[in-house]
Structure 1
Amino acid sequence: MSHRNARLTVHGRRLLVERVHSGRPVAHVAAELGVSRATAHKWVRRWRAEGSAGLADRSSRPLTTPQRTPAATEREVCELRRARKLGPARIGPVLGLPASTVHRILTRHGLNRLAWLDRPTGTVIRRYERDRPGELIHVDVKKLGRIPDGGGHKVRGRDAGRPIRGMGFDYVHSAVDDHSRLAYSEIQADEKVATCAGFLTRAAAFFHAHGITAVERVLTDNAWAYRKGLAWKQALAEIGATGKLTRAYRPQTNGKVERFNRTLLDEWAYLQPYTSNAERTAALDTFLHTYNYHRCHTALGGQPPISRVNNPVGQYS
């Protein structure tokens, strides 16, 4: 996915370097795509140095932050929060800091909500993740339009690549472990009860093979298959888990898998202009392997999900 204000998507950058590589002047290609010559030269340089990987976005985070609040001051902010339960507007004048800076510090340390603290001790008692792998699995389905042979509009243009009537949809069923973020996905033809039940059985087997030997609870939305489906309830019983439904109209409750769905779209489904549905389907396994074994996860201290399964509980807390 491109940065919010980027003039070119990854596909646009690929077009740029292809046109320049064919021998056309950089200035002409830059004008066609609506970017400056400096921007065009930047992407061409990165492409020549790194290949297609060089066309992806890089983090905007600076290498160093010399103006960041010293660690000792951050500790004082946290201590005032825990000991006296003060808010940013009161901590700021005590330490000579803007209230906005205090708020950022409290957020960084998970202390920005008093409701998350134990009043007598100031210990954080509310967590957005379970304590151990398998304690809770988030399940959801993402619906994607199928790609016609030859590619859709991203390959052939808006007019030539209009959806073909009757192409139908792919239903991407996903399960994400709350503690480790280990993920499993399948592409199915529907989201009927039997399909959902079969997916859950295979997902449990996947987690078992990767070290999560028991699934205790499964969290889903309020779709009929999950609320009323007998096959779904039987699948839960077979893996020894209980079902849990989100609050109605509150997808945030199932936030782990909802966020995974966004990553799924950015780094697999819309990563490149696929020329067929089979090509996109074949790329899913590679994405899942990268996500589980190699892709760094900010909530896990920059480690991939598999490290949370193999390491002691709470290492990245």
Structure 2
Amino acid sequence: MNVHENARLTPVGRALMVERIERGLSVAKAAQAFGISRRTAGKWLQRHRRGGERRLHDRSSAPRRCPRKTPAWTIDQIQALRRQRMTGPAIAQALGLARSTVGLILRRLGLGKLSALDPKIPIVRYERAAPGEMIHLDIKKLGKFNVEGHRVTGDRRLGRSRRAGWDFLHVCVDDASRLAYTEILPSEGQADTTAFLERAIAWLARHGVAVQRVMTDNGSAYRSKLFASALQAAGARHVRTRPYTPRTNGKAERFIQTSLREWAYGRPYACSDDRAKAIKPWTDSYNLDRPHSGIKGLTPWQRVNNLLGND
């Protein structure tokens, strides 16, 4: 029901008012009873008597006639030029129109941004059948701080940590079960990245998961010979994401989003060292206690045991 935001009555209230008037109540008394002016009450009474299915609904505020409306053939020209990836100002200059007119028409056509011309890439969702068939690795860079920031003080002008350095959150997520392993390391270089891979594979092995494939982005550490040697020693195949396409490694990206929301920014910390100490308890809770919507409400620990037949 499209009722004007300032309307005193809905169509049902208008119908009730008209019904009382037709039963003998005067227009003035009906207007007073319903809290509207006599003129408004008379307007609804007249519309009711003229009939029509929507006689007691608000009419559109759009004009019935628009002599200066942009012709349809001009709109077609604007659309055709836009599909040639011309900018709004360029289209306006080519057709001799105002920029504001072209901008308005492009927004109405859903072509306000050039990115709207690009075909939408279909979302391809996949899930490996067994734990260890594919694990996802990624790194998130987080700024260190040694004084309380605005999340604690409530004042962005206070608590700025100058040149405090960086923490690097390394994550490993099993594709089939979403079982996660995390560490905070001092760098994203090949030595730390490779050592993290080896520890992650060993941690998964202790839980009965044998790693077959490792998916990463195309960062320099993941392309290093040291990392390749560690993969070869573990008997795992390296799978890289498409360049500039982080969604290919979506499970690791999604885990990082969740960890930032619930761990890094979910509570205030006095310093980054306190934040780093909290990652392991949070990861344990993620694996053991937190239900995961992507695996039908199970926890990753329940899921990995189901898939391994350890129930």
TM-score (norm 1): 0.57
For residues 236 and 204 of structure 1, the distance between their equivalents in structure 2, rounded to whole angstroms, comes to 10
Cα contact 2:140–2:170 (8 A) shared by 1: yes
Amino acid of the structure 2 residue aligned with 1:262:
Q
SS of residue in 1 equivalent to 2:167: strand
What corresponds to 1:225 in structure 2?
221
Moved more, 238-247 or 173-182: 238-247
What corresponds to 2:191 in structure 1?
194
What corresponds to 1:243 in structure 2?
238
Q: 1:189 to 1:235 in 2, by over 3 A?
A: same
1:234-255 residue CA offsets vs partner (Å, 9 max, x unmatched):
1111211111110011111000
Cα contact 1:211–1:309 (8 A) shared by 2: no
Q: 1:312 to 1:183 in 2, by over 3 A?
A: closer
Cα contact 1:211–1:310 (8 A) shared by 2: no
Identity %, equivalent residues = 48
For residues 282 and 196 of structure 1, the distance between their equivalents in structure 2, rounded to whole angstroms, comes to 20
Amino acid of the structure 2 residue aligned with 1:294:
D
SS of residue in 1 equivalent to 2:222: helix
Amino acid of the structure 1 residue aligned with 2:256:
N
What corresponds to 1:290 in structure 2?
285
For residues 149 and 195 of structure 2, the distance between their equivalents in structure 1, rounded to whole angstroms, comes to 30
Cα contact 1:269–1:280 (8 A) shared by 2: yes
Structure 1: gaps of 5 or more residues: 1-114, 117-125
For residues 190 and 236 of structure 1, the distance between their equivalents in structure 2, rounded to whole angstroms, comes to 20
Amino acid of the structure 2 residue aligned with 1:175:
C
Map residues 102-251 of structure 1 onto 2, 5 A cutoff. 128-149=126-147, 151-156=148-153, 157-162=155-160, 164-212=161-209, 214-227=210-223, 229-251=224-246
For residues 280 and 136 of structure 2, the distance between their equivalents in structure 1, rounded to whole angstroms, comes to 19
Structure 2: gaps of 5 or more residues: 1-121
Cα contact 1:135–1:178 (8 A) shared by 2: yes
For residues 248 and 241 of structure 1, the distance between their equivalents in structure 2, rounded to whole angstroms, comes to 21
User: Which of 1 and 2 has greater Rg?
Assistant: 2
For residues 302 and 158 of structure 2, the distance between their equivalents in structure 1, rounded to whole angstroms, comes to 45
1:17-59 residue CA offsets vs partner (Å, 9 max, x unmatched):
xxxxxxxxxxxxxxxxxxxxxxxxxxxxxxxxxxxxxxxxxxx
Q: 1:262 to 1:170 in 2, by over 3 A?
A: same
Map residues 89-100 of structure 1 onto 2, 5 A cutoff. none
For residues 308 and 266 of structure 1, the distance between their equivalents in structure 2, rounded to whole angstroms, comes to 23
Q: How many residues align?
A: 188
For residues 210 and 129 of structure 1, the distance between their equivalents in structure 2, rounded to whole angstroms, comes to 20
TM-score (norm 2): 0.58
For residues 266 and 135 of structure 2, the distance between their equivalents in structure 1, rounded to whole angstroms, comes to 26
Amino acid of the structure 1 residue aligned with 2:175:
D
Deviation of residue 313 (structure 1)?
Answer: 6.3
Cα contact 2:184–2:276 (8 A) shared by 1: yes
Map residues 32-111 of structure 1 onto 2, 5 A cutoff. none
For residues 172 and 312 of structure 1, the distance between their equivalents in structure 2, rounded to whole angstroms, comes to 28
For residues 200 and 241 of structure 1, the distance between their equivalents in structure 2, rounded to whole angstroms, comes to 11
Moved over 3 A (4+): none
